[in-house]
């Protein structure tokens, strides 16, 4: 998906030869290819700076002239667009983290005025004291923005949406009639860290958060924007207080999550799923339509549609209950032996 320039701006154009020189890397292909954009290897665009760590994404890259930062293993024996530049490094993701912010960067919030002159406030909207509204932001009709909330540059909020006190919203497109609780933070960069030659680096994020209509987000929730592409909450999703949705997660319509639910990056959740309290989901898995996860469940892989799972790691609830029953039976004789020993000791004391 292309970068949304309501939230980001182009910093400059980087020549492949200059990038290779700064990274002290080997350069092949077209040395005058320039990076004017950033993209994922699975959805590149012409002139994009991309990184490649495996051969899985190379088919998509072959159709566009790009500046490609990759490991030698990923490039071996592969064919590329004749206009592309190939930069070989040992740590491609770390090299991308260093160079990408010099091509595309987030738009900052102008603090010179509480409500930027270019912001659009719909008829009947209530803007409470202390609210900040950034450049190009759009707040729909009959919205209510609570005290000290921050609506960042370019943010779009649909008609009838209520935003609680001290909520912070950036890099987001929000639908109609939503409820966002006090203290919630929407659109921050995800927890993307990568080891490099000088230690851990933070990966830049160039995506958005897209929230459908009639969504309820409780107090003190966090929803991270995508690294590339969007983090999406479908229509009618309901989040309890203190839930966390990581970057690039897709949450299907009418999904429910109880308090302390946490979803790691790039998870795909189907329609109508139900999460109990403290559910934790690992990254890059699929939770099918209508799945029910019991409180404290921690699925470590895909969960088929319509199933109910429980446990740590989670499994179908019937097998989990059978395991509990077996453990209970194994523990019961030990308790009887201990109780019998205590009774025998008491009898001796009575003598």
Residue 42 sits at the vertex; the CA angle it makes with 255 and 197, to the nearest 5 degrees, is 105
- Residue among 116, 205, 244, 247 flagged as catalytic: 247
pLDDT at 192 (0 to 100): 87
Side by side, which strands form the sheet with 85-88? Answer: 26-29, 85-88, 67-70, 48-52, 37-38
Residue 232 sits at the vertex; the CA angle it makes with 236 and 212, to the nearest 5 degrees, is 35
The answer to whether 247 is a known catalytic residue is yes
Question: How does DSSP classify residue 142?
Answer: T
Q: How many CB atoms lie within 10 A of CB 80?
A: 21
Nearest-angstrom CA–CA distance, 62 and 8:
26
pLDDT at 44 (0 to 100): 85
Question: How does DSSP classify residue 41?
Answer: T
The helix/strand count (H/E) of the chain reads as 5, 39
Mutual angle of helices 16-23 and 92-99, in 10-degree steps: 120
**CATH 2.160.10.10 corresponds to the domain 171-290:** yes
- The structure tokens listed for 264 are 């790691």
Nearest-angstrom CA–CA distance, 241 and 247:
19
Per-position pLDDT tens, the chain of length 351: 679 999 999 999 999 999 999 999 999 999 899 999 999 888 888 999 999 887 665 677 788 899 999 988 887 777 788 899 999 999 999 999 999 999 999 998 887 789 999 999 999 999 999 999 999 999 999 999 999 999 999 999 999 999 999 999 999 999 999 999 999 999 999 998 888 877 889 999 999 999 999 999 999 999 999 999 999 999 999 999 999 999 999 999 999 999 999 999 999 999 999 999 999 999 999 999 999 999 999 999 999 999 999 999 999 999 988 988 888 888 886 555 556 556 666 655 555
Domain 8-105: homologous superfamily in CATH: MurE/MurF, N-terminal domain (3.40.1390.10)
pTM of the predicted structure, to 2 decimals: 0.89
């Amino acid at each position: 998906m292309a970068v949304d320039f309501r939230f980001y701006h182009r910093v400059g154009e980087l020549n492949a030869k200059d990038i290779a020189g700064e990274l002290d890397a080997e350069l092949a292909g077209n040395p005058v290819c320039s990076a004017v954009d950033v993209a994922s290897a699975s959805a590149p665009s012409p002139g994009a700076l991309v990184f490649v760590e495996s051969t899985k994404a190379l088919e998509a890259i072959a159709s566009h002239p790009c500046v490609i930062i990759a490991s030698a293993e990923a490039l071996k024996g592969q064919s590329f667009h004749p206009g592309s530049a190939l930069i070989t490094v040992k740590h491609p993701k770390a090299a991308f983290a260093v160079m990408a912010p010099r091509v595309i960067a987030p738009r900052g919030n102008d603090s010179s005025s509480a409500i930027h002159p270019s912001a659009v406030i719909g008829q009947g909207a209530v803007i409470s004291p202390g609210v900040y509204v950034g450049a190009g932001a759009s707040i729909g009709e009959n919205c209510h923005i609570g005290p000290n909330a921050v609506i960042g540059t370019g943010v779009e909020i649909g008609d009838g949406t209520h935003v609680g006190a001290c909520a912070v919203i950036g890099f987001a497109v929000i639908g109609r009639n939503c409820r966002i609780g006090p203290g919630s933070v929407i659109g921050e960069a995800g927890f993307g860290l990568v080891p490099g030659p000088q230690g851990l680096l933070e990966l830049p994020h160039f995506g958005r958060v897209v929230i459908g209509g009639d969504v309820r987000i409780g107090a003190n929730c966090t929803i991270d924007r995508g690294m590339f592409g969007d983090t999406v909450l479908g229509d009618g999703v309901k989040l309890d207080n203190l839930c966390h949705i990581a970057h690039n997660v897709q949450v299907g319509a009418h999904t429910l999550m109880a308090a302390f639910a946490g979803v790691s990056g790039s998870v795909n959740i189907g329609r109508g799923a139900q999460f109990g309290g403290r559910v934790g989901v690992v990254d890059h898995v699929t939770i099918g339509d209508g799945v029910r996860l019991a409180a404290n469940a921690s699925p470590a892989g895909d969960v088929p549609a319509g199933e109910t799972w429980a446990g740590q790691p989670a499994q179908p609830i019937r097998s989990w209950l059978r395991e509990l029953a077996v453990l209970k039976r194994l523990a019961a004789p030990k308790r009887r032996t201990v109780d019998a020993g205590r009774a025998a000791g008491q009898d001796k004391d009575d003598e």
